[in-house]
Homo-oligomer: A and B are copies of this chain.
């Protein structure tokens, strides 16, 4: 659906993808407010005004990056959990998948983490608001997906009884909090972190 939509709305000369990539690198690297919109234009090799052909505003671009990543992450979770049926194993593969990302996807996760507050308040412009609602809906679906995994495990009496909605949020909160401090050059590799978070989530579920 997404690929179709992108292919459909993007002409062959489109620099949309280049803009998004440059924006991800900049927003994720030096931060959103610290990134000048003009810099993105320079990096892509177009005038600043041309950016408005693709995005309604700097924030609209950010929201697009965020909902794209949410969508990717949701799809991936669904894909890997569908492959296994044991509740414990489902949690394991879901968490592992959350950390099995490219460097750029890691940046997108960090951006997502740093700007979730944007998803709270209404946006005045049409396209921004549409993108915001898409993102919110995806967040809801992700929470629902995880809650369902937990619920299934509880019903199968593999997991202990808990409020699955709150537990899902806590688990996701823990998983995502990693993007706040993880750095590619840091003391811990993603693989190491992943392993520990997988174990932690399994403990949480029981």
User: CB within 8 Å of B: which residues of A?
Assistant: 30-31, 33-34, 114, 116-118, 120-121, 162-163, 166-167, 169-174, 176-178, 180-181, 188, 193, 196-197, 199-200, 203-204, 206
Contacts and interface: CB of A to CB of B under 8 A. Distances in A.
Contacts of A31: 117-118, 120-121
A171 B203 CA distance: 12
Contacts of A34: 121
Instruction: Give me the 7 closest cross-chain CB pairs, A-B, nearest first.
Output: A173-B177, A174-B174, A114-B117, A170-B174, A173-B174, A166-B196, A203-B203
Contacts of A169: 177-178, 181
Contact of A170 (B167, B172, B196): B196
For the complex, would chain A's binding face be called helix, strand, loop or mixed by DSSP majority?
helix
13 contacts: A33-B33, A162-B196, A166-B193, A166-B196, A169-B177, A169-B181, A170-B177, A173-B176, A173-B177, A174-B177, A177-B177, A203-B204, A204-B204
A200 B167 contact: yes
A171 B178 CA distance: 11
Contacts of A166: 188, 193, 196
B167 A196 contact: yes
